[in-house]
Structure 1
């Protein structure tokens, strides 16, 4: 577990689309590695892969709206020595091509990077068919698949670099919702390691992806009420940093998980560690066992309590305050 200096909450914080960091890094890597190719399901625009196509032409392969074929083509390219980045809206990549992800990517242990674009509830107004809230729960159940959820553009870029060099299948959850930088200068992404963004003694908030900043904001609110909250960013859902989870349980005595997904994703993974090693009170912030409705991203997050105020309320509940 690494410790970093926290980023203070600020009303004027600059927000960035993690897809931009993804594509910029991919273009840079492809310049020196001809094995890198991109495979898409008629989603060049939403994956922001235009610059990649402009630079490398035939190395951008558009299979049309055929997600199972897309993953199969990626596996074939990997089998032929290429490093495919398979990019599609997370809801369609995971739901439509689950068998191919399981068999062609994970079981076959191909070196391919599955890039779930615009995950969570980023497509807000398009409703339940376009929300990707099940992906973390689904994919963490697949053996041999690394699941990474970057929290900001800098971490996204580092995760792309790591995945390009990692000899095995990876799922990258790449946000379109604007997020600020939460990791400090000099931060280094290490798969399977949590990042301590804020120290605390009363409770630990474990968050992943776009909602890490909301966990930090919640910790600020709680501090005003005299509650000391540790904030862990968990960029890797699988493998999970069990050491950091156990330390949090032992040292703070209570845990709240936060995710833009069904709470059986990060929350379920953390709970499995806690109940097996160090049982402590827990609460889960995310989408419960329901389909998320239609609405703006901000409305949906607030609706499910995935906000600074909602996280703070869950902390008070688990602490009985």
Structure 2
């Protein structure tokens, strides 16, 4: 499959680009970015061609992989789908329900494949854990209580703005939107498949920088919590998640591989979705449901006078 890469930042440079260039069933035909100098430099490092005209790249591709801020990604994803390109998107797909819905509608209108790179679903250890624990069915649709998981939690504590030497600390959209939008999708990508869609969300600021807490009630009757932050000290960073119910206690295993390896599996997933015509569990509709939950949380925080930005 011929892929175009949209974006030239650290995520594109360290994850998307190398994974696409190394994948045996992907042909990386070119890179498009918003600035010509980094576009040319990344294309050279990846051994491919820089594109100044994004529509020309769409015309030369079967699919696009997007490593751009969410509210830049969403309209370009719609444009790519309308050009007949399959989509390998990053999370969140957008930060507004309207933007996420437009992506879903474009995917369905054009009959293109779509996979969203929720990392834990493509890392071998965590993906197996999620497959083993999730009840059958579509996680974006309501399901009745099945006597399984009753409560859960997912905490994602990062030091991006807490003193770590991180290439992502300078990201303008992360500084504006904070951990709620950057790592909140990861937490929800664990809880929604296991506990079902979210019925209500309560959001509260955590005090330190961009730290926020979420309390979720799911349509299955289960409940869960999230703590999200980019503002903890490096010594306090970590990712933990668990669910509890009649089946006992299940703890998320440690993610133990480089993101580029996981992204290679996301490429595999898109190839399979296109070949079979079957919607992937991490498709556009699931990503839209994640955006809806986070937007509801953001509205609550804004109503309380808490901006959705980091402590930078």
Which category of TM-score, normalised to the shorter sequence, fits these structures? 0.3 to 0.5
TM-score (norm 2): 0.37
Identify the structure with bigger relative contact order (alpha carbons < 8 Å, sequence gap 6+).
2
TM-score (norm 1): 0.36
